[in-house]
Homo-oligomer: A and B are copies of this chain.
Amino acid sequence: MRAFSPTARSRVKRLPKRAHYDRETIYGILDAAFVCHIGYVIDRQPYVTPTAYWREGDAVYWHGSSKSRMLTALERRPPICLTVTILDALVVARSGFHKSVNYRSAMLYGKPYKVEEAAEKLAKMQAFVERLYPGRWRGLRPVSRQELKATTVLGMHIEEASAKVRTGPPVDDAPDYALPIWGGLVPVRQVLGDPVDDGRLAPGSGRPPRVAL
């Protein structure tokens, strides 16, 4: 897979050794997360809206109600920034200055477009369900025409992208390692708990879905 070519917009300025422009790294981050933050501008005011998303090839998709402010604003195809962040560890250093975090983040740039065609929209909704709950779609009550109409699906071809990744232990000043101060990592993970049914299961409802997170 070809790497992205950074421009002034997407080149990582601070700590370039943490920067990555290859699709493997960037798509790996996108596929490991589930919620992104989308930045857009209305009347010179930036907004940052969290939303669930998924990736297909060189594009990302998200959806929501046709009444949503974010989705309505994005139908006009403004340039946006879509950021995904995964926190991996707290980096506990021996000085306040060197404390840090281990993380993987990806910033994507492009212009969103509305998926208009009904069959394509339905296929996107299916892809979203299957991304989170593999195999679940075929067992669900089908989406109605009205529901399809009430849903806006947006996509964005990834024009440019960069990732920033920090891994490894704290990097303390050489003399500080002699100090009697603990240094290391505290791992951070997102975990799924045991599923809790809603107490309204019909007979034969079976087991909770497998979650691909």
Contact = CB atoms under 8 A, between A and B. Distances in A.
A40 B46 contact: yes
Contact of A208 (B92, B99, B137): B92
A39 B50 contact: no
B179 A48 contact: no
B189 A193 contact: yes
Contact of A90 (B103, B132, B191, B206): B132
A182 B196 contact: no
A36 to B, nearest CB: 9
Given A96-B125, A176-B141, A180-B204, A41 B50 contact: no
A74 B192 CA distance: 36
Interface string A100-112: 0101010101000
Given A35-B85, A85-B35, A95-B140, A198 B176 contact: no
A47 B41 contact: no
Given A40-B46, A125-B96, A143-B95, A184 B197 contact: yes
Grouping DSSP codes into helix (H, G, I), strand (E, B) and loop, the A interface class, with mixed when no group exceeds half, is mixed
Given A14-B64, A85-B35, A200-B177, A195 B185 contact: yes
A94 B69 CA distance: 27
Residue from A38, A49, A109, A182 with most neighbouring chain B CB atoms (10 Å): A182
A177 B199 CA distance: 10
30 contacts: A14-B64, A34-B87, A37-B85, A39-B46, A39-B47, A39-B81, A46-B79, A48-B83, A50-B83, A90-B192, A90-B211, A90-B213, A95-B142, A95-B143, A95-B147, A96-B125, A96-B129, A99-B129, A178-B202, A182-B206, A183-B198, A183-B200, A184-B197, A184-B201, A185-B196, A186-B195, A187-B192, A187-B193, A187-B196, A191-B191
